[in-house]
C-alpha cells in the first residue's frame, strides 16, 4: 500500500468513527467529508482493508439509497442489519430511511468532535 493510499484510508476510517451511534452515512458522503473527490469506491476498498482489532463502525456505512451493500442473506448482511438494529436504526427489506437516519454533521461537529471522540484517536 502506498503512503498516499494509507493516508486516505486513515482519513476514511477517522470519518467513519465520527458517525454517531444510531445514524448512518453513504460511501460517497464519507469520501466527501474525508476530502476524497469521487471516492465512494475508495471508501469501500478502505473498509475491505480494515485491520483486525479495529474500532471502525463499518456497519454505519450504506449505499446512497440506504441499501446495505452486502448480498441479502449473507453473513455480512445479517451482521450489519443486526448491528444497526441494536443501535435503533430501522431496516425495512435491507434498506434504511436515509431521510431519518442519515448523519448530517454541521461544521462545528466536523471541526470540534464530541469530547469522548478525542480519547479514541
How many structural domains is the chain composed of?
1
* Predicted confidence (pLDDT) at residue 48 exceeds the cutoff of 80: yes
Q: Tell me how far CA of residue 74 lies from CA of 78, 99, 108, in angstroms.
A: 6, 26, 38
pTM of the full structure = 0.86
The CATH number of the domain holding residue 11 is 1.10.10.10
Residue 73: give the domain boundaries.
Answer: 3-112
Q: Give dist(CA 25, CA 104) in Å, integer.
A: 8
Residue 41 confidence class, pLDDT cut points 50, 70, 90: very high
Q: Give the residue with greater pLDDT, 111 vs 82.
A: 82
Rg (CA), the chain: 14
Q: Give dist(CA 109, CA 59) in Å, integer.
A: 21
Residue 118 domain-assigned (yes or no):
no
Nearest alpha carbon to residue 57 among 18, 96, 91: 18
Residue 45 domain-assigned (yes or no):
yes
* Predicted confidence (pLDDT) at residue 119 exceeds the cutoff of 60: no
75 by Cβ neighbours in 10 Å (0-12 / 13-18 / 19+) ranks as exposed
Q: Give the residue with greater pLDDT, 82 vs 107.
A: 82
Residue 40 domain-assigned (yes or no):
yes
Amino acid at each position: 500500500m502506498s503512503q498516499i493510499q494509507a493516508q486516505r484510508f486513515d482519513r476514511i476510517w477517522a470519518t467513519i468513527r465520527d458517525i454517531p451511534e444510531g445514524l448512518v452515512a453513504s460511501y460517497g458522503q464519507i469520501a466527501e467529508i474525508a476530502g476524497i473527490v469521487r471516492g465512494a469506491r475508495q471508501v469501500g476498498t478502505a473498509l475491505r482493508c480494515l485491520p483486525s482489532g479495529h474500532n471502525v463502525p463499518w456497519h454505519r456505512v450504506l449505499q446512497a439509497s440506504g441499501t446495505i451493500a452486502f448480498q441479502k442473506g449473507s453473513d455480512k448482511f445479517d451482521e450489519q442489519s443486526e448491528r444497526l438494529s441494536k443501535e435503533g436504526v430501522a431496516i425495512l427489506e435491507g434498506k434504511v430511511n436515509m431521510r431519518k437516519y442519515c448523519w448530517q454533521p454541521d461544521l462545528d461537529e466536523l471541526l470540534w468532535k464530541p469530547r469522548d471522540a478525542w480519547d479514541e484517536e
